[in-house]
Structures are given as C-alpha cells and as structure tokens.
Amino acid sequence: MYDISTLVDSITHDTYIDGQPGKCTFTVLDDPNNVLQIVNGSIITVTVSGRGIFYGYVFSMEVTEDGSNKITAYDQIRYLKNKEVYVTSGMTASQMFERICLDCMETSKYQVITPSVYIPEDKVHNGTLYEIIQFGVERSNVYEDGKYYFIRDNYGTLEFTELAQHKTNYILGDNSLVTGYTYQLSIDKETYNTVKLTRENKSTGKMDSYIVFDSATQAQWGKLQMVETVDDSLNEAQITELATQYMKIYNRESQTMKLEALGVPELVAGSGFTLSISRLDIKQDMWITSASHNYQHDFHTMTLEVKI
C-alpha cells in the first residue's frame, strides 16, 4: 500500500444516483520507475480528514509525454454493468439486491439499509445486474408512496437504501457555501403526458395496449409519450394502475438546479440538505442526484445537481 497524496495535484470524485458508478480521477505527476506499480485492477482509496470517501478499482490509465499518469477508478457499482439472464420471483427490490450480490458479486460487501416492501411481478431478465435490481426499485418507488430507493457504494460496501436515511443538517444557499447556481424548468427529459403500456396477448399473438393521458398538458406541451412492455402476468386493472402511477410521477415539468459551492465531503449523490435561495423564494429539503467534488491541495469545491 502506498500513500501517493504528495504525487497527486488534484482529485475529482463523482457520484450519481442513477446507477452510474462512482468515479475517481487523478493524475500522478511523476513515477518514472513505476515504483507505485499501478495497474488496471489496483485498489484506490481516498480519505479526507480520516473519512473514507472512495474505495474502488483502476479501470484506465493514460500516460502523457511529460510522464504523468491519468488514472480513472470506479467503485463497485461498475461491476453491476455485468450482464446476466436472471429470474426474479416473489421478491422485493431489496431481496433482489441481496440475491444479485450473493449470486453475481461474490467479492462484494453489501448491506440493506432500508428494506423495500412491494413485491413486483415475476420476470425473466436479460440485461445488466443493475437493470435487474432497478426493475424492482422502480416498481417500489412507484407503489410505495413517499419512498425513493436507490443503490450506492459506501466506501467499498454496496448499499440498498432510501433517500430519507441520508438527510443531513447542512444548509446551502445565498449565505452558506453556495458560490453560484443555475435553475432549469424543462419538459425535455423525464416529462410525459401519455403513458402507453403494452402486454403480450398469447391468445391472439398480438400486443394489447393500455393508454393513460392528460389532454390539458397535451394541449400545452404537445404529446410526450413513454412506452413500456409489462409482464403478461399483470391483469388489466394492475396495468391501468401502473400507468396511472407513472402519470403522477412524470406528468409535470421537471425542476433542477446545479449548485457551485465550497466542498463538503459528506454531500454525495443521495444525500439531503436544506436549500435556501431567497431570490427564487426556495427554502426546502433537497436530495442530490449527482455530485462532483474537486480536491486540490487544501482547496475543496463541489458541483451538485438536485431535483426540486
């Protein structure tokens, strides 16, 4: 194990709530004799004031003409990109997570912080490990009112958790840490006023369609449609309920903010804080969808993205 802090000019640590792996990038200024022996697969840990903020593995290295080495490492969520054919039956999302970790992530430490309750329909999956778990997560987030489950890597431990568990006491805003911000109101992403769910009809050999829409927002925004194929084990009432729940979530303008601020290591994707921006008349709790921290000697800044 080597302490390379004196050889590194700056470190960038990125985290996301949507299944992208946490990423750590840095440049080793000079190691002409390859004393450090950094190779793909090497373990990289980052601590700040004794607090572990990143534990991951080298996935790429770039050498420049001056001998510097740019290193990119990812946390264990990167291994959830592995693909598998997998059957889930009678399991909650948190149980899917545990089973995937046990069956397909043999070397990983994992923990369920907040168990989910809803049991999605049985399904044969053919996709990434993350997509398999996320199928259960998305169903639970739709049907369990007020809950938002997600997966994160907490310094080498994969965790299935829920947003409410990660509210902090930090207040960010006009007079506290924030140095700049942008606010966006959009219907360009994750806004739908028409939900079309399809199900295979084995009797006819065709696909049955179930559509829920809002004529008022269609008149205002135009038709914005999402389409999803559901399992044939769902009946008509269940499919209609699912479409209605999707409309509650997506039939709205999305409000997002990007904050530039002085760094707080604890504020990563999934963390909550109180945002206070007087000019926008905002004072409410927010949860971070992505965070990018830059550590440069004794100076630490961060860029946070939040949904309102």
pLDDT band at 180 (very low <50, low <70, confident <90, very high): very high
In the numeric block, which tokens belong to residue 183? 């606010």
Sign of CA dihedral 77, 302, 62, 6: negative
DSSP state of 46: E
The residue whose two tokens read 């999707």 is 246
pLDDT of residue 191: 97
Distance CA 28, CA 7 (A): 5
pLDDT band at 35 (very low <50, low <70, confident <90, very high): low
pLDDT of residue 32: 57
Which residue in 78, 56, 63 sits closest to 27, CA to CA?
A: 63
How many Cβ atoms from other residues are within 10 Å of residue 152's Cβ?
23
pLDDT band at 6 (very low <50, low <70, confident <90, very high): confident
Query: For the segment 17-32, what is each residue's pLDDT rounded down to a tens digit?
Result: 999 999 999 998 776 5
Phi, psi of 78 (to 5 degrees): -55, -35
Q: Tell me which of 23 and 3 has the higher pLDDT.
A: 23
Query: For the segment 71-109, what is each residue's pLDDT rounded down to a tens digit?
Result: 999 999 999 999 999 999 999 999 999 999 999 987 779
Determine contact, residues 97/153, Cβ cutoff 8 Å. no
What's the one-letter identity of residue 110? Y
Assess whether pLDDT exceeds 90 at residue 262: yes
Please give the CATH architecture assigned to the domain spanning 79-163.
3-Layer(bab) Sandwich (3.55)
Assess whether pLDDT exceeds 90 at residue 68: no
Assess whether pLDDT exceeds 80 at residue 178: yes
What residues form DSSP beta bridges with 73?
Answer: 24, 58
Distance of CA 177 to the CA centre of its chain: 24
DSSP state of 190: S
Distance CA 274, CA 63 (A): 42
Mean pLDDT value of segment 128-140? 96
Distance CA 59, CA 23 (A): 10
The residue whose two tokens read 């949507």 is 18
Rg of the chain on CA atoms, in Å? 22
Distance CA 301, CA 292 (A): 8
Domain borders along the chain are 5-75, 79-163, 194-250
Confidence (pTM)? 0.89
Query: For the segment 210-255, what is each residue's pLDDT rounded down to a tens digit?
Result: 999 999 999 999 999 999 999 888 899 999 999 999 999 999 999 9
Which residue in 85, 95, 75, 98 sits closest to 19, CA to CA?
A: 75
